[in-house]
Structure 1
């Protein structure tokens, strides 16, 4: 609560900004430049902030390119997300943390999806978009690439590595990858209903709409964080004078409001193969009748990171990867704290998730 009357004007300004005024602080994404743009695969290179201007004519003012000898790290977001999942705001940015510790981060930006993209399937990412980005980054640095993927992004990275053993991948870090969905409690009723209907209602809906509209994705993300939504008024009242706490809250709100939708075919595959059939838990996923990927064929080192307080992908579901990634020479599991997004860019990530990632990369 507000500590005394003298703080009341500041508290009122904070509450107004957080609720109606566009946020406590303006968006300040880490600067980046596009180095290769393809449909739903804009490969961007993050740069070092430089208030004095660009380092050379090829670099826009306001950023300075990092040395090309810096270790390359390709960040892979999940579908239904923007690159902001790795760069929520200064102080909550895995991107900035990597730069500060001598790494060169890149990210794939998928952009928006429309009904015209209804035929895009997961195989477009596992066999084209992710591999093409890996090869381009590897060519930029003349060496293998580390990959860090969040949620489904981690799964896409592992499937790409398993499907194409010749990819120049140094390691994969998968943050909360949904490997074993049996541990996600709220999916239980959905799985049971799907067994009765065969998932026909989802197949019909995705064909009719061409995908899952962005509004549905945003509502879904808020529902899975229902406790946060229900306690919002109390949080605002308790932190009216705490601009930092309110800035964290509004940054998450801004991220949620920017979520794109899903292409129809991709969402149907996620629902059928990952949720109903839980195929990843057995290490084999059928993307098409003629295309199957076995995670046992992945041959690079892998770090799996999960959180026991993540209701969307609990740590136990992530830990299953230790049993199925049998072709990897080094598979590790690290348990941290935080929700599904929080373990990536939450307040505790700087002391839990980020050090674990850096230690693994430096090995």
Structure 2
């Protein structure tokens, strides 16, 4: 039986090891290179990968994971135990991911149209073709999007009802932006100063630079940021907790930026004019997308403790999209819906049940 001195010695070594790993000179608490995957195509902003499966058994209908704009695709494979991609593979599903990569000033002209008319339709068709080439046949692709990834999937399904989209699961995807307290200051500023004045800085920068995106994401969880040092100190002996915290920090640190046109559309169409909630999004003077044209099954998953896209904002989707359903995963944060430590018991089963239904 270990003595008190032995326990103290072990704790001291653990604390020292973890403190060093967290320091700028350390290698980090946990080394995770992600799930093994095969790159199917690597065009700019359209990188398509297939996660490698451990079995050759016939796969279920393929799933395409759709990340948001300005967010690292790592959201779907954060770390062991917090990987929706690994979970889907474990349920026997062929799982794919589209990755937009880095966004720069040169991409300032990319708007919703790039995703709706090109990036996602191309990925969907490529997934179905690859699935069939492997000997598995399916009637369509199940899209699983997080946050604005769900928005892009929704607009794509509405704009192209003929696409082979078997279903869409939208995790933390807001539809009624008037129900998001955090954006009200932006809306008020727009109405007082005008859209041109409010969006002038992002227009000049060609979008929202990655450093500002990262700072904004951190600002959405001020308590976490203010208490981070205390949190790390209190858990210096808890390697698992430190690994979770470090994974989130790494995820935030990898966030790319928003392209200029897309951010302008988010600001004017989604936030200020709340067009998703009206059922019609006007991409330009000559083009509008009607959510009433969605022909696939849709599930919205939200949480009442999501401080970025809270439950009521997400729940509104069930009132706008024909036949759509809402499922509550209360108690989870925005990232927690897709990659939190409790996602496996709260939100992922909702996704499983929806994908299993025909």
Give CA-to-partner distance per residue, 1:120-152, whole Å, 9 cap, x none: 101110111111111111222342010000000
Counterpart mapping for 1:31-50 below 5 A: 31-48=36-53
Q: Is the aligned partner of 1:14 residue 2:13?
A: no
Match of 2:28 in 1: 23
Name the SS for the 1:104 alignment partner: strand
CA contact (8 A) 2:210 2:258 kept: yes
**Is the Cα–Cα contact under 8 Å of residues 29 and 243 in structure 2 kept in the other structure?**
yes
Partner of 1:228: 224
Structure 2 residues not aligned, in runs of 5+: 1-6, 132-136
Is residue 2:345 matched to residue 1:351?
yes
Q: Deviations over 1:190-212 (max 9, x none)?
A: 11111112222343222211111
Is the 8 Å Cα contact of residues 337 and 348 (structure 1) preserved in structure 2?
A: no
Write the distance in 2 (CA, Å) between the matches of 1:165 and 1:93. Answer: 30
Helix, strand or coil for the counterpart of 2:28? coil
Q: Which residue of 1 aligns with 2:160?
A: 164
Displacement of 1:47 after TM fit?
A: 0.9
SS at 1:89 equivalent? coil
Report the counterpart of residue 149 of structure 1 in structure 2.
145
Q: 1:166: Cα distance to partner?
A: 0.5
5, 12, 23: which one aligns with 2:8: 5
For the residue of structure 2 that corresponds to 1:92, the secondary structure is coil
**1:91 alignment partner, one of 81, 89, 92:** 81
Q: Does 1:280 align with 2:280?
A: no
Where do 5+ consecutive residues of structure 1 fail to align?
Answer: 49-63
Aligned partner of 2:62 in structure 1 is 72
Residue 134 of structure 2 corresponds to which residue in structure 1?
A: none
Match of 1:108 among 79, 88, 98: 98
The answer on 1:124 being equivalent to 2:114 is yes
Mapping of residues 164-203 of structure 1, within 5 Å: 164-203=160-199
Report the Cα offset of residue 66 of structure 1.
5.1
Shift of 1:43: 0.9
**Partner-residue secondary structure (3-state), 1:204:** helix
CA contact (8 A) 2:174 2:317 kept: no
Structure 2 contact 82–340 (Cα < 8 Å) conserved: yes
Measured in 2, the distance between the counterparts of 1:230 and 1:19 equals 18
2:260 and 2:295 map into 1 onto residues whose CA distance is 31
Kept in 2: contact 1:118–1:263 (CA 8 A): yes
What TM-score comes out, normalization by structure 2 length? 0.92
In the alignment, the residues of structure 2 paired with residue 69 and residue 343 of structure 1 have an alpha-carbon distance, to the nearest angstrom, of 25
Q: Tell me how far apart the structure 2 counterparts of residues 336 and 72 of structure 1 sit (CA, whole Å).
A: 28
Work out whether residues 206 and 265 of structure 1, in 8 Å CA contact, stay in contact via their aligned partners in 2: no
What value does the CA root-mean-square deviation take over the aligned residues? Answer: 1.7
CA contact (8 A) 1:145 1:169 kept: yes
Alignment length, in residue pairs?
344
